[in-house]
Amino acid sequence: MNVKMVRCSLKDLEMLQEISIETFKDTFQAQNSPENMKAYLEKAFNTKQLERELSNPHSEIYFIYFNEDLAGYLKVNINEAQSEKMGEDSLEIERIYIKTSFQKHGLGKYLLNQAIEIAMKHHKNTIWLGVWEKNDNAIAFYRRMGFIQTGAHSFYMGDEEQTDFILVKKL
């Protein structure tokens, strides 16, 4: 198994947009209306939004390659780039997605471990993320990896308010 992680830059914008839309749809399309899915995808993954994310000095986005094929990606945030005020000692895992055809190869665990290394490089002692309350597989994975639920926040899928659990892991 050949796994490689590469930091994204503005030159990767089109590929980032494609994998973001593909993995988000594959993960959540069945549980959401087409209208809300379309609205969310257009807001979250439009070119200008992704340019802002790639240009933010407090965010890092990485592609993961499995045997030279793009298999997924990771986005982490520190400081004011975090979507919740979790403190200066925290790193947020905002997105961690693996394409369906590459799941069950340990790539999610690999990306999570890489996020921990990034947090340690930035001298953070906590990592956290939001996960949809109905995403049972992801919740079970994060609990196995040592995360505990400390709260919840609202997440909007189009015009539908949903609940994300806040999961935290001390490093």
Distance CA 169, CA 148 (A): 6
Q: Is 142 designated active site?
A: yes
Q: 3-class DSSP state for residue 148?
A: strand
Could you say which of 73, 97, 110, 142 is catalytic? 142
Distance CA 106, CA 129 (A): 19
Token representation of residue 157? 């899928």
Distance CA 105, CA 98 (A): 10
| Catalytic residue annotation | 142
